Amino acid sequence: LLIPVVLSGGSGTRLWPLSREKYPKQLLPLIGEDSLLQATVRRMEGLADIELGAPLVVCNEEYRFVIAEQLRLIGMKGTLLLEPAGRNTAPALTLAALATMREGGDPILLVMPADHVIADTKCFQAAVRKGMTLAAEGAVVTFGIKPDSPETGYGYIQSGDPIDPDGTCRIARFVEKPDLATAEAYLDAGSYFWNSGLFMLRASVWLSAIGFCRPDILAACRAAWDKGSIDGDFLRVNREAFMQCPSDSIDYAVMERIAAGEGSLPIGAVIPLSAGWSDVGAWDSLWEVLPKDQRGNVSQGDVMLHDCNNMLVMSEDRLVACVGVDDMVVVETPDAILVAHMSRTQDVKKIVDSLKREG
C-alpha cells in the first residue's frame, strides 16, 4: 500500500504579494487551473498498478476548510492531519507515520511537498514505481535533481555505489543548505544532486529513524497523537503535547545522518529525477516554468506590454502596462503591488519580513 503524504505547512513568502499568510502559495492556482496542492495530489492519478491509499495532507488546522474544499473540488477523498502549529517537516512526517499505522499496517509513504511543480507526470510516476521496491525493502528513497546552479536553499545528495543500472545509487553524503562556496564545489564535482524534497519510505522505517536520531521529537509526537482525536476526515493531535515538540526538518534531523551511515539507521538511496521539477520558490522560478511569448514574457490578467522582454506581469484587479522594460516582475493585487528585478526576486522575503516586524 502506498500512501501519498502531502506536506502543506509553508507560506511561500517570496511569492508575495500573491502568496499571503492567509492564502499560502500551495493553495494558489499559480500554474493552470489547479492549485499547487491540487496538482500534487493529482500527480498520482494513473498509477493504477500500485495499490494507492487516500492522500494524507498534513497542514495547519487553520487551513482545514480551504484544503478540504480544494480536495472535494477535484473529486479526491483525503484525510487531513491538523497541526496546531508548525514544527517543520520532521514532526509533520512523524505524525503522518503514526496516523497511517493506526490500523496496524505499515504502508509505504510517498512524502510530497505541496508547493512544487513537476512538469512530466509520467516520468515522475516511473520514478515512484522504482522507489516502491527499495522502500518496501526498508530503504529511505530520495529523488535527485541534476543541479544547474549553486543554490544554497537546497539539500545536496552525493551519489555513491550504484544500486541499479538506470542510475539509482546509494547516498554517499547528504548536506542540507550548504554555504555558497560548498555548493559551488558540489556543482563542479558533478556527483551531487539537489534533494527534491520528495521521499519514499515505510512508516515504521521513519519512526525508528526519528526515534534513533531525535527521541525527543518521537516522544512529543507520540504523546500528541495518542491524546488526539478523529473527527471525520480530520485527524487532530493534542495541542499542549504538540506545542512541546522541538522543530527540525527531515533533512537535518535524519537524512544527513542516514548518509553518514550512522548506527542502526536504514540505507539511503537516490533515484535521479528529470521530470521538470521546480520548487517555485520565487518569482523567477515561476517565470521559468510558465509558458512565454516570443519575447520571453509571461502575462496574466489585464496586461499590456510594449517593447518588453523576459517579463513576468500579473494583474488581479487593474490594467497593468509596461513600456520598454526588461527582466522585471510586476505583480498587482488589490492592496499591494510588487515591482522587482528578475535577478532579485529572492529578496522579496526581505519586504515580507519588514512588513511582519511593522505588524
Q: Does position 84 bind ligand GDD by CB under 6 A?
A: no
Least distance (Å) between residue 349 CB and Mg ion: 12
Cβ nearer to ligand GDD, comparing 58 with 330: 58
Alpha carbon 317 to its chain centroid, in Å, reads 29
Stretch that binds ligand GDD, among 3-11, 132-140, 230-238, 327-335 (CB under 6 A): 3-11
Alpha-carbon distance of 338 to 195, in angstroms, equals 30
Query: One symbol per residue from 242 to 261: x for binding ligand GDD (CB under 6 A), - otherwise; what is it?
Result: ---------x----------
Peptide bond into 84 cis (omega under 30): no
Q: How does DSSP classify residue 52?
A: B
Least distance (Å) between residue 307 CB and ligand GDD: 35
Could you tell me the maximum CA-CA distance found in the chain, to the nearest angstrom? 63
Cα dihedral 250, 255, 258, 263, rounded to 10, equals: -40
Q: DSSP secondary structure string, 61-103?
A: GGGHHHHHHHHHHTT---EEEEESS---HHHHHHHHHHHHTTT
Cβ neighbours of 326 (radius 10 Å): 15
Q: How does DSSP classify residue 251?
A: I
Q: Does position 4 bind ligand GDD by CB under 6 A?
A: no
Backbone φ/ψ region at 287: left (φ over 0), alpha (ψ -120 to 50), beta: alpha
Given 3, 5, 80, 92, the residue binding ligand GDD (CB under 6 A): 92
Q: Does position 20 bind ligand GDD by CB under 6 A?
A: no
Q: Does position 94 bind ligand GDD by CB under 6 A?
A: no
Contacting ligand GDD within 98-127 (CB under 6 A) = 113-115
Stretch that binds ligand GDD, among 87-95, 164-172, 263-271, 283-291 (CB under 6 A): 87-95
Query: One symbol per residue from 266 to 305: x for binding ligand GDD (CB under 6 A), - otherwise; what is it?
Result: -------------x--------------------------
Alpha-carbon distance of 43 to 21, in angstroms, equals 25
Given 89, 125, 297, 315, the residue binding ligand GDD (CB under 6 A): 89
Beta-carbon contacts of 187 under 8 Å, excluding residues fewer than 6 positions away, are: 147, 149, 150
The entry of ligand GDD, Mg ion, none that residue 150 binds, CB within 5 to 8 Å by partner kind? none
Helix (H, G, I), strand (E, B) or coil at 268: strand
Least distance (Å) between residue 248 CB and ligand GDD: 10
Stretch that binds Mg ion, among 103-111, 178-186, 277-285, 295-303 (CB under 5 A): 277-285
Contacting ligand GDD within 188-207 (CB under 6 A) = 194-197
Residues that bind Mg ion (CB under 5 A): 279
